[in-house]
Structure 1
Amino acid sequence: MRKAREESGQFLAEGLKIVTEAVELGHAPKILLYGKDADGHPLLTRAVAATEKAGGEVIEVNREILEKIAKRDNPQAVLAVFDQRFTPLQTLEPQAAKVWVGLHRVRDPGNLGTIIRTADAAGAGGVILVGDCCDPYSVEAVRATMGSIFAVPIAKAAEAEFIAWRDRWPGSVVGTLLTATVDHKSADYRRPSLVLMGNEQAGLTPELAALCDVNVKIPMRGRADSLNLSVATGIMIYAAGD
């Protein structure tokens, strides 16, 4: 539950692949749970060693316990609890990457996780959550990142904090609007670019759209009049970062 995650500062990750990714990136589990099916796997052996070295707890459990924790009938054989890590907004270094992502009031954890994964794949500097966003450390979001939750810096800020910080951004801040007249492929992006996306239903608010140096549109050539947020964000990440 989100309340418990916020109180503990921890979160749950599922699967040996994600746990291995975490360990390789220097995130040791606080608690590592594994079932009989994973026992003896060399990657599990590494994860166990990393957990114990960091003072974490390693527990072998049965399938019923894995199902209850994962809340699914076919759970992964490895589950782990990690500490959450948020990067303070003021410590971000814009010049560290060509493109960054800002998300305003994103509501769907699957979208958020997919965007984090795409940002990782594209070499983006990080993801900034603005305003009341869904939790990037929810089980659904973490699952959708496929391990990128451990690779991509994540910052969060209230609207007022973000607006004040935006004035110091050295490159372009780019938004997407259905009413924009500039094509996303032809916009003049000054690196580093900060791609600012609104939520799934309403898009960017007028206040945040006004913060952008340029607002662009992604052409709709078929019958659909809009794109899924994670797809649209992926298109913009590559357009602004290449």
Structure 2
Amino acid sequence: MNRPAGAPGRVKEISSAANPIVKQIRLLEKKRHREETNSFLAEGMKLIIDAIDNGWRLKTLIHAASARDNEAVTKLAARAVALGADVIIVPERVLGQITRRDNPQMVAGVLERRFADPARLSPGPDDVWIALDRVRDPGNLGTIIRTADAGGASGVILVGETTDPFSTETVRATMGSIFAVPLARMDTDRFAGFAGRWPGQIVGTHLEGSVDYRVPDYEKGPILLLMGNEQAGLPGDLAAMCTTLVRIPQSGRADSLNLAVATALCLYEARRHAFPISDGARS
């Protein structure tokens, strides 16, 4: 539904999954189509509201016809139209086909992808950034983005060929945090230059790390946490960029931790000084 720039959105009711608009939205399941259209799909009223509140561009709002009398949905639809987004109203079965869920939420949205410009990243002295090398699992990436939000990380950098942060699985796993955490992408060469200019510590997790992850003085920032991928860990060229290689001690039979868990441990340790224990929490 093309229209002049700045014009309000339009409302359209669609009854069939064979409709060309619905077909285009369903194609967002594919990474290539997300890249070609610079768009992705998010589900749930809270996520769509979070996206709008954080300045993300909503292109299309989709809601179930059964929710047309829901006051909250009506207000969101009016807000979407005022922002220039189109609103399409579909039967629940069509919404289920769009989201590939048997019991879909009553609202979904097509949004414009957004990445931070690597050239404009300027870490402050108290910042903690997370860099992920070739992360493969959408659930891991989504969980890390959610953890970065909760733990107060300044952003996440994706190094090399990674899973798409805007895949439906990743967006679901972030629980809305994708709209609050800056994401940047870099190939290995560009990241090497970025790391070479980093003004603080670069702490990497490594099986051969000689320092317990709780030992570094993380208050001497900014901190860049560098995490290897799920299968191979941190490769030698990236390990060489680190000022400190740390390890997370283990006592059981497992030979490694899940990437999202390891990242959470390191982030919260690096940010420990930002979460003082109040007197009330000690009782």
Q: 1:36 to 1:154 in 2, by over 3 A?
A: same
8 Å CA contact 1:31–1:80 kept in 2: the answer is: yes
Question: Residue 193 of structure 1 is aligned with which of 223, 226, 238?
Answer: 223
Instruction: Give CA deviations for 1:24-83 in whole Å, capped at 9, x if unaligned.
Output: 212242100001343344442342233112211011110111111111211111110000
Q: How is 1:106-185 mapped onto 2 (pairs within 5 angstroms)?
A: 106-185=135-214
Alignment of 1:62-81 (within 5 A): 62-81=91-110
Quote the residue 1:208 is aligned against: 238
Aligned residue for 1:203, secondary structure, equals coil
In structure 2, the residue corresponding to 1:216 is in which secondary structure?
strand
Residue of structure 1 in register with 2:62 after alignment: 33
Query: Which moved further from structure 2: 89-98 or 203-212?
Result: 89-98
| RMSD of aligned alpha carbons | 1.4
Q: Which amino acid aligns with 1:58?
A: V
Q: Structure 1: any 5+ residue segments left out of the alignment? A: none
- Letter of the 1:154 partner, please give it: L
Q: Contact 2:61–2:107 (CA<8 Å) still a contact in 1?
A: yes
Instruction: Identify the structure with bigger relative contact order (alpha carbons < 8 Å, sequence gap 6+).
Output: 1
CA shift in 2, pair 1:40/1:168, >3 Å: farther
Measure the CA separation in 2 of the matches of 1:94 and 1:236. 18
Aligned length: 242
1:175 deviation in Å?
0.3
Contact kept in structure 2, 1:28 and 1:51, CA below 8 Å: no
> TM-score, normalization: structure 2?
0.82
Q: Percent identity?
A: 50
Instruction: Decide whether aligned partners of structure 1 residues 73 and 214 sit closer, same or farther in structure 2, where only a CA change above 3 A counts.
Output: same
Matching residue of 1:9: 38
